[in-house]
Amino acid sequence: MPDRTFPRGLTRRQALKWAAGAGVTLAAGALGCRPPGLCSPKATVFVAKAADYSGDLAAILRRGLAELGVSRDEVAGKRVLVKPNLVEPHAGAGHINTHPLVVQAAAAAFLSLGATEVLVAEGAGHRRDALLVLEESGLADVLASEGLPFQDLNTGPVHRTPNAGNFSRLGDLWLPDALARADLVVSVAKMKTHHWAGATLSMKNLFGVMPGIIYGWPKNVLHFAGIEPSILDINATVRPAFAIVDGIVGMEGDGPIMGDPVTSGVLVMGRNPTAVDATACRIMGIDPNALGYLHQADGRLGPVDARRIEQRGENPAAVRHDFALLDDVPAQKGIRLAPDTAFSANTKETS
């Protein structure tokens, strides 16, 4: 079983190194804030209802970007890399991967704001045949119909970059050159439980940017270094500009592959993946502070504390749908969110 242990806090040197790499200035005394989430800037998360995949998902995402304050000037002329979750494609099992129509909608939303290119890119965790991955996931047809290019991140050219997180023992990270060429990286994840991390959302989705030619299949090097600290290192280094979580149909129980489909009918999005994942967890009936990597991220990579997250669109409490958890899976024990937990003191319903 992968090593899930890692330090409960950063040293001052580690925090300062991360802040320098992320372009963040730490206020005096911020490293000692308790709870840590109250040290971080506020983040805005947009939640939208989407009953199924047949609706105008691009319009929902465009509205979400507008609610997040994203203007055409911010996107126009930029190259956007959309990273879906294609961990283990199986024909007819759409609850495993980001739905192709959500990927299509994300591309359309950014193109409508003037992006010069949208590249869909993934380094699938288990399968080495990228064409098979695309075909079995149903994404190949969408890419062909929309004329969207695809990059296999497992096998392309890579470069070495300093680890801006230093939560794990990975040292410097090897990242695909496609990431360096992109102006905006967008994590488009699936809402799922996970048998080692508790839940897998936009932050865990970035495991797929790590090239298999360096980190193996299914990213074994990251597993040996510790799944949770590796999640933090990758996010601190890649720093995705946006996160979108496909929760229209998610996965509960023995995720991220063997679980059961569950309809929660939502799309969750924001600029800060930590805040997006914290909100998605609450919608799933999971306490985000009970997940090791989100607890560590709080106040360092973004806010988890509900008081620091401004919720727009649907009130997360109103769309909460408790995902089934397994008592015999250690990562899922004790993570259930209390029924009467307050989601946020900063909810602005705009639907």
Q: Which pTM was predicted?
A: 0.88
- C-alpha 134/C-alpha 229 separation (Å) is 29
Does position 265 have pLDDT exceeding 60, yes or no?
yes
Percent of the chain with pLDDT over 90: 78
Does position 35 have pLDDT exceeding 70, yes or no?
no
Does position 14 have pLDDT exceeding 60, yes or no?
no
Which residue has 């949208």 as its token pair? 118
Q: What does the pLDDT look like over 246-262, one tens digit per residue?
A: 999 999 999 999 999 99
Least confident of 34-38, 58-62, 159-163: 34-38
- C-alpha 263/C-alpha 324 separation (Å) is 12
Which residue has 């991967």 as its token pair? 97
DSSP assignment of 246-284 = EEEEEEESSTTTSSEEEEEEEEEEES-HHHHHHHHHHHT
Does position 34 have pLDDT exceeding 70, yes or no?
no
What is the C-alpha R_g of the chain? 18
Looking at every residue in the chain, the average pLDDT score rounds to 88
pLDDT number for residue 39? 59
Q: What does the pLDDT look like over 306-332, one tens digit per residue?
A: 999 999 999 999 999 999 999 999 999
Q: What does the pLDDT look like over 65-83, one tens digit per residue?
A: 999 999 999 999 999 999 9
